Amino acid sequence: MRYDILLLDADGTLLDFARCERSALDAALTAFHLPTGDAVAQRYSQINRSLWEAYEQGKLEKTTISHQRFAQLLGEMGSTADPYAVAEAYRAALSRGYFLLPGALQVCRTLARRARLYLVTNGVSSTQFARLAGSGLLDLMRGVFVSEDAGAPKPSPDYFSYAFARIPDFSRDRALLVGDSLTSDMAGGAAAGVDTAWYNPSLLPLPASYRVTFQLASLDQLPGLAESGHIPAVTP
């Protein structure tokens, strides 16, 4: 087995975060009699993404993201609803959202028979654990490392130090980090000294500023990669 320690991102890699996010957003806004729809969801995603990127870069405290994203969205909507209350309704709905990406559970079941699986994810610990438990992924993992518990987000070196210290018999040479985010997963993994596999089903071009070891067009390629250390070349 070339890689027997697999560090797996959750949202966008195993879990369909776009679907989870939309479902939770619609539920929270509906609870406060606020409009929903594609335009609202797109704007929320833009706001949320920018805040998380600021957090990953150390420019924002994680504790402020939850209400800030709704404060900004509600302000643009002209609503007087309490952003803290809307944020809590969203978090509760998101905890119940655990839509899996196609093939994710079966691939993890296959991998768990050959390797040790660990989840590496940014987010709120209670929310992530609830979603992972509901999805069936939690039982397949040897450990789950959430940025809230680590006190630092991916791609921070402190995050990876926290995770690596809690993996028995950890070896960088045997570890592979799999994720969809160039900024948090690929950049963080490369800086931490582990090989990386960019989950890139849309075959987007790889920016010259990022270094990845492998590109995955499908999760089905992962068991073969973990076993042999090779996959067919993917041309974006």
Catalytic residue IDs? 9
Contact between 80 and 6 (Cβ < 8 Å): no
70 CB-near residues (< 8 Å, 6+ apart): 83, 84, 86, 87, 90
Is residue 32 within 8 Å of residue 86, measured between CB atoms?
Answer: yes
